Amino acid sequence: MDAFLLTDQAKLPLALGLSALIGLERERSRAGGNPHAAGVRTHMLVALFGFLMAQLHQAQVPFAIVAGLVVVGAIQVASFWRRVQSNLFGWSSELSVLLSYSVGVLCLLAPLWVPTAAAVLGTLILTEKSDIEKYVERLDQAEFLGVLKFLLVTTIVLPMLPDQGYTQWDLNPARIWKIVVLVSSVGFVGYFLTRKLGGKVGLWISGLVGGVVSSTAVAVSTGRLASREPAKAGVALQAALLASSIMYLRILVLIWLVSPAFAWALVWKLPLLSAIGVLLALTVPKLSSSQEGVESLKNPFEILPALGFAAFFTLFWVATAVVRNWLGASGLVLLGLIVGAVDIDPFILSVAKGGQVESALLAAILMSMLSNTVAKGVYFGSLAAPVRKQAFMRYFGWALLHIPLALM
C-alpha cells in the first residue's frame, strides 16, 4: 500500500483532490457574491497543468515549472484587472489559483505532507476570511505592539542567549530567559483567551492550562490582572488557585514516569491536595457582576514584571545552591522548603529518582510543595490588593494542610 501511495499514478488523483478542495471553497465564495472566483473545475485544471509541468521538469525540460507559473500568473493578472474594472478588489481568488498550481507541482516533487498541508491550510485561511477580518478590525495598537514584543522575546532574544551555566551557581542565561518567556506567555495567552471567551471563562481556562506549565507564572500574571482590574480580582484569584490545583496532578504524573514506587506512595495525597485547591477556588466570594467584561484590559504583554520575576528566580536559585553545599543530604527537608520558592520540579524529580521510598524523602517532596504554595500566595497577594486577605487565607491555609500529610 505504501509503495502504491508513492507512485505517480497515485499522486495525480491526490493533486486533483486537493485542488478540488480549494475550488469548493471558491465556489462557496462565488455563491456569496464573488462572481469572478474560479470554481472547482478551474482549480483542478490548474493543478493538472502544474502536475504536467512537474513531469516535464523530471524529463529534463528546462524552466518548465517556471514557464507554467508565468502562464498561470499572467492569466491571474488579467483576471485581477477584470475584477478591478468591476470595482472588486483583493487578490484572494488569484492567489488561490496559484496555490492550486503549486499543489499540482508539489504532489509530484515534494513529500506528500507538503502539498496536503498547503492545500488544507490555504482552504482554512480562505474559509475564515470574514472572521480574520473582524479580528483584525478589533486588534488595537497596544495588542499589535504586544504581539511584536512577544515575538521579539521568544523568537529573537531567546535563541541568541548561551545555553550553559556560568559562575559556581550554574547561572544559565537561556534558562533564566525562558522564565521571562514563560511568565509573559501565560499573561499573553490569558489576555486573548479572556477577550475571546469572556472574563470568567477565559481566566479559568487560562489558569487550568497555565497550571500544566507553571502555576507560579499564573499566580504572578493573574495577580497583576487583579491589581489593574479590581472588578476581576475574584476571578483572577480563582484562576490562580485552579492553576495551583493542576500542579499537584502534573507532578504526580512526572513522578510516575520517573519512579512508580514514589507515585504509589503519593497516589492519594496529591489528588487530595488538588481537590482542596479546587474547593478553595470555587468558594471565592463573588466580587464583580455576572457579566465579566474584558474591554478595559490593556497591555497584553508586559516585560518589566517578567524581568523582575526572573531576577527573583535567579536570587532563589543561588540561595538553593548555597544551602545544598552547606547542609548536604541532612538538610533535605529544609532544602525542599527553600526550593519551593523557585521551581520544585527539578528537586522533586531528583528526590524521586534518587533511591527507595522513605518517609523523609516523601516529607521533603511535600514540604517543597508547601513552600511553593506559600510563595504563590505571596506573589499573588502582594500584587492583588483587592483580594489580598482572601488570597493569604486560602494559600496559607492550603499550605498548612501539607504538614499532616507529610507526617503520615
Most confident of 27-36, 70-79, 284-293: 70-79
- Which residues, listed in sequence order, are joined to residue 171 by a DSSP beta bridge? 166
CA distance 104 to 271: 53
CB atoms near residue 337 (< 10 Å): 17
Q: How does residue 216 score in pLDDT terms, banded at 50, 70 and 90?
A: confident
pLDDT of 105: 93
Q: How does residue 396 score in pLDDT terms, banded at 50, 70 and 90?
A: very high
CA distance 248 to 369: 8
pLDDT of 386: 84
Three-state SS across 176-197? HHHHHHHHHHHHHHHHHHHHHH
Angle formed at CA 219 by CA 298 and CA 277, multiple of 5 degrees: 130
Going from the C-alpha of 159 to that of each of 128, 213, 303, the distances in angstroms are 33, 20, 17
pLDDT of 382: 86
H helices within 259-343, ranges in order? 260-265, 269-282, 303-327, 332-339
Contact 68, 53 (CB under 8 A): yes
pLDDT of 272: 94
Q: What are 190's three cell numbers?
A: 490569558
3-state DSSP call for residue 296?
coil
Contact 96, 121 (CB under 8 A): no
pLDDT of 26: 81
Inform me whether the pLDDT recorded for 255 exceeds 90.
no
Q: How does residue 65 score in pLDDT terms, banded at 50, 70 and 90?
A: very high
- Give CB contacts under 8 A, 24+ apart, made by 366-369: 366/269, 366/336, 366/402, 366/405, 366/406, 367/333, 367/336, 367/337, 367/340, 367/402, 367/406, 368/336, 368/337, 368/339, 368/340, 368/344, 369/247, 369/248, 369/251, 369/273, 369/340, 369/344, 369/402
Contacts of 30 (CB under 8 A, 6+ apart): 36, 37, 39
Angle formed at CA 320 by CA 350 and CA 212, multiple of 5 degrees: 55
pLDDT of 112: 85
Which residue type does 309 have?
F
Three-state SS across 336-363? HHHHCCCCHHHHHHHHHHHCCCCHHHHH
Give the helix, strand, coil percentages of the chain, each rounded to 5: 80, 0, 20
Contact 17, 116 (CB under 8 A): no
Overall average pLDDT of the 195-218 stretch? 64
DSSP 8-state assignment for residue 152: I
Most confident of 28-32, 71-75, 93-97, 197-201: 71-75
Overall average pLDDT of the 221-240 stretch? 82
pLDDT above 70: percentage of residues in the chain: 68
Overall average pLDDT of the 367-385 stretch? 88
pLDDT tens string 95-104: 888 999 999 9
Most confident of 72-86, 223-237, 259-273: 259-273
Inform me whether the pLDDT recorded for 401 exceeds 90.
yes
pLDDT of 1: 39
Q: Which residue has the higher pLDDT, 71 or 8?
A: 71
Overall average pLDDT of the 322-345 stretch? 68
Q: Which residue has the higher pLDDT, 400 or 212?
A: 400
CA distance 51 to 392: 67
Overall average pLDDT of the 150-154 stretch? 72
Q: What are 282's three cell numbers?
A: 470555587
Contacts of 242 (CB under 8 A, 6+ apart): 204, 207, 208, 211, 277, 278, 281
As a whole number, the mean pLDDT across the chain is 77
Going from the C-alpha of 183 to that of each of 232, 233, 310, 360, the distances in angstroms are 20, 19, 9, 32
**Selection from 196, 240, 253, 186 nearest residue 373 by Cα:** 240
Q: Which residue has the higher pLDDT, 315 or 266?
A: 266
pLDDT of 269: 93
pTM above 0.85, yes or no: no
